[in-house]
Structure 1
Amino acid sequence: MNVKELLFEKLDAKQAEMVKHRRYLHQHPELSFQETGTASYIKDFYKNKDVTVTQPVQGSHAIIVEIKGKHPGQTIGLRADFDALPITEEADVPFKSLNEGVMHACGHDAHTAYLLGLADAFIELKDQLSGTIKIIHQHAEELPPGGAQQIMASGVLNDVDEIYGIHVVPVAGPEVIGFNKENAFAGSSTFTLTIKGLGGHAASPHKTHDALVAGTNFVNTLQTIVSRRIDPSEMGVITVGAFEAPGGANIIQDKVTIKGTARYLNDDLEQFMYEEIEKVAQSVAVGFDVTYDLDYQFGYPVLYNHPKQTNHVVDILSASKGDYFEHLVEIPAVSGSEDFAYYLKEIPGTFYIVGCKPEHTETPYMNHHPKFEVNEDALIVAAKSLGEIALNRLMATE
């Protein structure tokens, strides 16, 4: 039996344990940068195992597990995130969140569960491995500046030759693995605009500087940035997600707060979108005789899947198609963002998708929805696919 067959045999034996990990983590979700219990659970899992466990980012919950093979080879990084979202769960599952207002609505519980199972199998096989595997249990993917940036800044991954990661998404079932090349996930930024005017009586608008009208003009004009200022061949999105203007029917407001996000698949658009949004705010301030404060936060960069490593992944997984999964498909660029992008800025690698659509569900609830669910068969698909990629790349010479 070769190493891949041994690995798969061990993963099959650990499948139920992976599900158990996932359900425990699902019941005990924690927000970004607050994952104390989750980190303790992960560290406890590695107690008394023959590996090196470190927490390289002071004051954070990131955990790096180093598995050294007996033979020389590359150093490969495998990452899973473990933070949750400020969402009240509505999914009807017996292992529902016990933390009010917090939910694993993006699948990070599943990510951590399959990586724990995979790491355990690799530890048991370390005498037959070439090279070194670095298991990256990452905190705070959901909240910029994000955990990946902190881990990279620590230097703990400076010796990593290649890095790989997965996200579960219910666009298809676990029988489908999706990949894309080059600019694969959008970069993102967020903004909060506060407009201050002069309030007053609704019957005397001429004696006011209406912040609400100025704000609605700002929202409408924003739409021209993508439609008129960006090359139509480029992907750009600007979305306003909140418009806060509490008051009464006969009161003209003196302040409104607007929150939104910008997305782009070209890093050159990051600064450009900021400058254009600032221009719109300036023009509204002049036109409506109001003042403004723009708090603009640059978020995650565009995630770039390195073509060479992505091609290797396609070749590796193509050989297993029809075994533990059925379809390997190239997918379009994704408008969502991922802080795995920080790893790929410095380390060659790729980030791909495993379907997690629940069985007997025609229209699944997507990631970040309060009724989001994971088909737990995705755990074994994720573990096996990432496992065989790591085995192959550990021994790679190019």
Structure 2
Amino acid sequence: MEIKQQVANSANELVSLYRDFHTHPELGFKEYRSQKKIIDYFTNLGLKPRKIASTGVVAELKGTKPGKTVLLRSDMDALPVTEETGLSFASETFGIMHACGHDGHMAMLMVAAKMLTAMKDEIPGTIKFLFQPNEEDAGAHKVVKEGVMHSPEVDSVFGLHLWSQCPLGQIDIVDGPQMAASYYFNLKIKGHGGHAGFAHESTDPVFISSLIIQAVQGIQTREVNALDPAVIMFTQMNAGTSTTTIPEAAELTGSIRFLYADGKSLFKRFEHVISHICAAYGAEYELEFKKGNALLSNHPETAALVRTAAAEVVGPEQVTTKIRTMAGEDFSEYLAHATGTFAFVGFNNSKKGIVYPHHHPKFTIDEDALVIGTELHIRAALKLLKG
């Protein structure tokens, strides 16, 4: 039976798996129920799944012919969001919901694995099925550290994301930078406290912080090429306990994101501005950076192969190359070790009221997208094995 028809015949199973995961969401590195369900499913396929990175799962399908090794990846974790969708299969865990589509990702990769296993005799090489925990907090590094890219060595990786900015029936795959690198900073401005009525006797960290917040905006608007997207955001500030007291220190946090290869130069310029403003007003500072996600950049060669696969799924006119985003994705960790591609599978459908963005309490997907994503997994794997 042809792949498209096989996937269509599995629509009910896809929806059932998706809804079950949606009803029982789990936060990062707490995906125990999901892990057990996936392990049981792969065991029933005759494969030998194993745990990885605490709550993840990896399983291998070895074809009957020698060839390359391709890794297909799904994320698993939900978000600390209280669901407001009103769905009959809404989250049963208050304060936690699948508001990013990872429930659909698991369902699609499971059914794709089932169909690829049935095609074992036609597969040249090995396919690794990876269910990765804690994507929302960059858990991929732990999976990579535990050796998922080795034994056998992975030649190419493929992943996809159900995407709210993309209409149902459309698949978007770009060459090069697709999702931004994200780094988080903690900044402490250390001044000299005192009475608010005698400001001249103090070094005000709140005032100095306000100057820094304003000044660093000039980096992204005046020092970075307008064609190289970069964002510096202050998202939190804590200082003081009284209306009459100048505090000793102010603490600021935020993120630096960029969608081009040389974005790390922003860090030096960021600190340069901070250090000079602090020096000008007699303050000191402490600055720390934490990596969120590296830049996700598709390899053009594999992207071309996956676009060919996507055209077989939705038709060439529905395959686009336009979506780049300042959101981050830890799929970039795998791309640091092998060639590969990440795709966006659209599900936005205004006729059904499916219009809410990722991480929104009313986030839902059009379940018809599950069939599209599953078929893309299958066809992409086969193209990459033969490519």
Amino acid at match of 1:329: T
**Contact 2:23–2:91 under 8 Å retained in 1:** yes
Structure 1 residue 283 displacement after superposition: 2.2
Identity %: 32
Name the structure 2 match of 1:368.
359
Note if 1:259 corresponds to 2:250: no
Number of residue pairs aligned between Structure 1 and Structure 2: 385
Change beyond 3 A, Cα 1:153–1:336:
same
1:157 to 129, 139, 149: 149
Name the structure 2 match of 1:307.
300
**Contact 1:62–1:147 under 8 Å retained in 2:** no
1:66-81 correspondence runs (5 A): 66-81=60-75
Name the structure 2 match of 1:280.
273
Question: Residue 370 of structure 1 aligns to a residue in which SS?
Answer: coil
Amino acid at match of 1:199: G
**Contact 1:90–1:371 under 8 Å retained in 2:** yes
1:352 to 337, 343, 358: 343
* TM-score, L = length of structure 1: 0.90
Question: Residue 95 of structure 1 aligns to a residue in which SS?
Answer: coil
Change beyond 3 A, Cα 1:30–1:231:
same
Q: Give CA deviations for 1:83-133 in whole Å, capped at 9, x if unaligned.
A: 122222233322222333322221111111111111122223323433221
Question: Residue 278 of structure 2 aligns to a residue in which SS?
Answer: helix
Question: Residue 356 of structure 2 aligns to a residue in which SS?
Answer: coil
Q: Give CA deviations for 1:37-73 in whole Å, capped at 9, x if unaligned.
A: 222222122233311212244xx22211111222333
2:24 to 20, 23, 28: 28
Structure 1 residue 239 displacement after superposition: 1.2
Name the structure 1 match of 2:384.
393
Partner Cα separation in structure 2 for residue 163 and residue 66 of structure 1:
14
**Contact 2:170–2:314 under 8 Å retained in 1:** no
Partner Cα separation in structure 1 for residue 313 and residue 22 of structure 2:
30
Change beyond 3 A, Cα 1:105–1:363:
closer
Note if 1:290 corresponds to 2:286: no
RMSD (CA atoms): 2.2
Q: Give CA deviations for 1:340-383 in whole Å, capped at 9, x if unaligned.
A: 11111221111010012144267822112222211111111100
Partner Cα separation in structure 2 for residue 285 and residue 96 of structure 1:
50
Partner Cα separation in structure 2 for residue 251 and residue 8 of structure 1:
69
Name the structure 2 match of 1:8.
4
Amino acid at match of 1:153: K
1:48 to 40, 44, 54: 44
Partner Cα separation in structure 1 for residue 22 and residue 267 of structure 2:
37
Note if 1:241 corresponds to 2:235: yes
**Contact 2:39–2:50 under 8 Å retained in 1:** no
Partner Cα separation in structure 2 for residue 70 and residue 86 of structure 1:
43
* TM-score, L = length of structure 2: 0.92
Change beyond 3 A, Cα 1:100–1:208:
farther
Amino acid at match of 2:85: A
Unaligned ranges ≥5, structure 2: none
Unaligned ranges ≥5, structure 1: none
Structure 1 residue 25 displacement after superposition: 1.6
**Contact 2:63–2:125 under 8 Å retained in 1:** yes
Partner Cα separation in structure 2 for residue 393 and residue 380 of structure 1:
20
1:323-338 correspondence runs (5 A): 327-338=318-329
Partner Cα separation in structure 2 for residue 171 and residue 68 of structure 1:
36
**Contact 2:188–2:250 under 8 Å retained in 1:** yes
Change beyond 3 A, Cα 1:319–1:28:
closer
Change beyond 3 A, Cα 1:97–1:321:
closer
Deviates more, 1:167-176 or 1:153-162: 153-162
Structure 1 residue 36 displacement after superposition: 2.3
Question: Residue 380 of structure 1 aligns to a residue in which SS?
Answer: helix
2:218 to 212, 224, 237: 224
**Contact 2:354–2:364 under 8 Å retained in 1:** no
Structure 1 residue 292 displacement after superposition: 2.2
Deviates more, 1:95-104 or 1:133-142: 95-104
Amino acid at match of 1:157: M
Amino acid at match of 2:124: S
